[in-house]
Each structure stands twice: as structure tokens, then as C-alpha cells.
Amino acid sequence: MLNNSTSPGFGHFQSDNTNKAPTLNFKIQDNRCDPLVSVALKALEGALSNTGESERSLQTAIFSVTDTGCQHHAKRVIDALATMRPRQAFFARGSAIMLSTYSSMAIGSHGPCLSMSGRGTAIALVLNLAKHFLTKGDCHRIILLCADQIDGALKASAVYFSSANTGEIDNLIEYSLDTDNVGLYAESIIQSFFSRENLV
């Protein structure tokens, strides 16, 4: 049986190499993910290792938020268009959808996935839905995954929530909508929130 730890698992990862994906511990059959997605998966590895759980729920929902998606892939699409070479469109390979898709494959989840572009407001929207899913029992666990290229570095934060963490979800919603935070990148908001929590 899955335990209900009172603290959500948090993980953060960043890379200054925007053109090369970091090595992952996850075994994924399709490993063609872009650098930003790989950085997000490294953050997810950290979050999962900090949960204290030995089992993973197959009904884990994954919510991902990014503002710009993978700029590395966007550049490849633009370069391909300029030379009239075929290239998968940005929305197929470089958007928030890929964060959710690869995370779902990595943990073997059959739960719902939701992907959204945005910043603080996007976090609040997905977390309100996440809380509803948890309280209604539609899924056992929620992963919030936020990633962006910020100041020349690929940065990602991941949080693994259980139904015991609804109070923490409420606090994070309030924090993400604060006027000082709402315009920040989603990843920056998550990292700041959990850094602050650790200082208390």
C-alpha cells in the first residue's frame, strides 16, 4: 500500500548546456526528448527520491507548466523552415505536452496529463484541478512539473503530491498568485516556494 507522507517530494535540476540533454536514470524506450524535457526529468528523479515511497501509483496525474517550451527545439524548427527541410512542429516536440508525455512514460503512469503554457496563473489553474482530483479520489498522486530556459540556463522543478498534501497545494496556489510572484517563470515560483519552506 502507498504511504501518505505529509511532505511533498521536491526536486530541482538545472543545466547551463542548452544544447545537450543530461543523462537520465529513467529507462525510456523513446529517448528522443529535447534538452529541456531531459532537465525536467532530472528534476522529477529528485522529487521521486524525496518522497520516501517505495512504490509508484499507476494513477499518478501529471501537470506540466512552461512559458516558452524548449527553445532549442524551436530554433531547430525555425532553421528547418528557413531551408525548407521537413521538421516536426514545435507543438509536437518542444511544448509543455512533451514534459507531461515523457514524465508519464518515465514513471509508467496511466493517470491523466495536463499541459499548460504560462506562469503563476497557470500554476494556480493546474493545482486547483490537481486538488480536485486528489480529494475526489480520481488519482492517488499528482506531479507538478515546471521547466523553462531562464537566463541562459535550462531549469526545472518537480513536486510529487499525495492526498495528504492538500494544505500545501493551497499554500502554493496562494504563493503563485501573489503579486510579487505571478509574473515569474513557473519553475522560479516553485523553487522559491520550496526554498522558503525549508528555511522555516
Beta strands of the chain (E only): which ranges? Answer: 9-15, 60-66, 113-117, 141-150, 153-162
Residue 160: predicted pLDDT: 93
Residue 4 scores a pLDDT above 50: no
Sheet holding 60-66, edge to edge: 9-15, 153-162, 141-150, 60-66, 113-117
Burial of 59-82, coded b for 16+ CB within 10 Å and e otherwise, reads bbbbbbbbbbbbbbbbebbeeeee
Q: What is the pLDDT of residue 1?
A: 34
Find the mean pLDDT for residues 83-102. Answer: 67
Residue 182 binned pLDDT confidence (cut-offs 50, 70, 90): very high
Residues 91 and 94: their CA atoms lie apart, in Å, by: 6
Q: What is the pLDDT of residue 57?
A: 64
CA–chain centroid gap for 11, Å, is 10
Task: Tell me: pLDDT of 89 over 70.
Answer: no
pLDDT digits (tens, 9 = 90+) for 154-174: 999 999 998 889 999 999 999
Instruction: Check pLDDT > 70 for residue 82.
Output: yes
Mean pLDDT across 173-183: 95
Interval 116-156: pLDDT, tens: 888 999 999 999 999 999 988 888 899 999 999 888 889 99
CATH of 9-199, one of 3.40.47.10, 3.40.50.970, 1.10.1740.10, 3.40.50.300: 3.40.47.10
Reported confidence tier of residue 110, pLDDT bands at 50, 70, 90: confident
Break the chain into its structural domains and give their ranges: 9-199
Q: pLDDT above 70 covers what percent of the chain?
A: 76
A 10 A CB-CB count for 190 gives 28
Confidence category of residue 38, pLDDT binned at 50, 70, 90: confident
Cell 492526498 belongs to residue: 163
102 has pLDDT over 60: yes
